[in-house]
Amino acid sequence: MHPGFVRAAELLPTPKAAGLPAERLAGTRCVWCGGAATDALSARLSVVKGELVRWKPRSCLPCLRREAKRVYGIHITVCARCTHRDYCPDNKALYPLALECR
């Protein structure tokens, strides 16, 4: 597993917990597509039915890559810390996940 993985997973926004099927909320299914989950994302705090819950979403690899790519694409256009010569730690965490094989 890439050392930047945990950091990158924290940067990926998940769907709203309140609207998710129980299996995706429990992390047994991919939080995005509902397929078999292979990769753990960072724990989240969300309000579900009026209560604050801590949940640990998981993801399949294709969704993880797609979301990392998407967030990376947004990041690179809005981040004030990233220049053409130097990239911020967030970017360095996202980049391998979005573009490299592991």
- Tell me if 88 contacts Zn ion by CB under 5 A: yes
The site for Zn ion, by CB under 5 A, has a size of: 11
Binds Zn ion (CB under 5 A): choice among 26, 82, 92, 96: 82
Question: For residues 52 and 33, what is the distance between their CA atoms, to the nearest angstrom?
Answer: 24
Q: Give the range of 2-10, 27-35, 50-58, 66-74 binding Zn ion by CB under 5 A.
A: 27-35
Q: Quick one: DSSP state of residue 18?
A: G
Separation between Cα atoms, residue 93 and residue 72, nearest integer Å: 9
Rounded Cα–Cα distance for residues 49 and 98 (Å): 33
Using the rule CB under 5 A, give the single segment among 1-9, 11-19, 23-31, 48-56 that binds Zn ion: 23-31
81 touches Zn ion by CB under 5 A:
yes
Distance CA 81, CA 50 (A): 37
Residue 38 near Zn ion by CB under 5 A: no
Contact between 36 and Zn ion by CB under 5 A: the answer reads no
